[in-house]
Amino acid sequence: MEIDIIGVPIDLGADRRGVDMGPSAIRYAHLQQQLEEMGCTVEDKGNIEVPILETCSITDPRLKYLDCIVPMGRRVAGAVATSIQVDRFPLVLGGDHSLSIGSIRGAAKHKQLGLLWVDAHADFNTPETTPSGNIHGMPLAALCGLGDPRLVSLWDETPPVLDPERVAVIGARDLDPGEKRNLREAGVMVQSMEQIDRAGMVAALEKAIERVSRDVDGIYLSLDMDALDPRHAPGVGTSVPGGLTYREAHLLCEVVAETGKLIGMDLVEVNPILDVQNQTAILAVEFIRSALGSRIWSG
């Protein structure tokens, strides 16, 4: 497999600082070496240019730092689209989840995508439903055609980027009231922690994969490290108790790899300032390896 590593050091979409250092923390956890040991050909494309918070301003409290986030999204979309166009695998490192308005848009430029959004949050707010104004809580809604037109259409493309019927949120456990309405009306599948507890990870995930893989060219995986329980992944900005276990997260990535349909991946919300000895970034590298086919035992 030929992989392009694309760093996006952005923290403008979140309330807490430090997640802009996530790409560096993941690289420091020997990401490239670990992938090359799997037999992958890896090219690190460096970081997408992102302005620092001190040079940006809030013009609308319901869409904080929008004027700086939109150009970032365009640059990320261009980098990912270029990678996919030459049959390489874009591995996008964050940074907060607002980067996905670009990464998934870029991946969908030439392909019909199904999306697995693994996250404690659905990130399906709009300016009308957001309790915080933080744009990292809006990217999935924007990709499905909901929200501010500047997020929904970074350029002049016809929204939506994704068919909501081919989107599944996995591991949700913190949803805002208006966000729940948006999800139901859009028709997005949500496999919350309750469903995972009841049915088990494999059953919940197989149901989601069946849904998102119908009539698509590939599956994209967007993995927010706050999907894990904070005991396993302390270095995230918006931790919520009761998340995925270490093994559940690995199993999820392993099952996705088995589909043979994964064409790109985001790994977001690693905040080394809040981490313990880079533990969360080290886990991130392990999950990337599993999603790309690494196994404890194959036989």
Catalytic residue numbers, as ranges: 97, 119, 121, 123, 136, 224, 226, 269
CA atoms within 13 A on the CB side of 45: 22
- Written as six digits, the tokens of 41 are 């050909």
CA atoms within 13 A on the CB side of 104: 33
**Main-chain phi, psi angles of 23, to 5 degrees:** -60, -40
Please give the helix or strand (H or E) that residue 131 lies within, else none.
none
Helix, strand, coil percentages for the chain (3-state, nearest 5):
40, 15, 40
- Is there a contact between 72 and 48 (Cβ–Cβ < 8 Å)? yes
- Is there a contact between 282 and 272 (Cβ–Cβ < 8 Å)? no
Tell me which DSSP letter residue 14 carries.
Answer: S
Which stretches does DSSP call E strand in the chain?
2-8, 41-47, 89-94, 113-118, 167-172, 189-192, 218-224, 262-268
Number of C-beta neighbours around residue 71 at 10 A: 15
**Which amino acid, 260?**
G
- Parallel, antiparallel or unpaired: strands 167-172 and 189-192: parallel
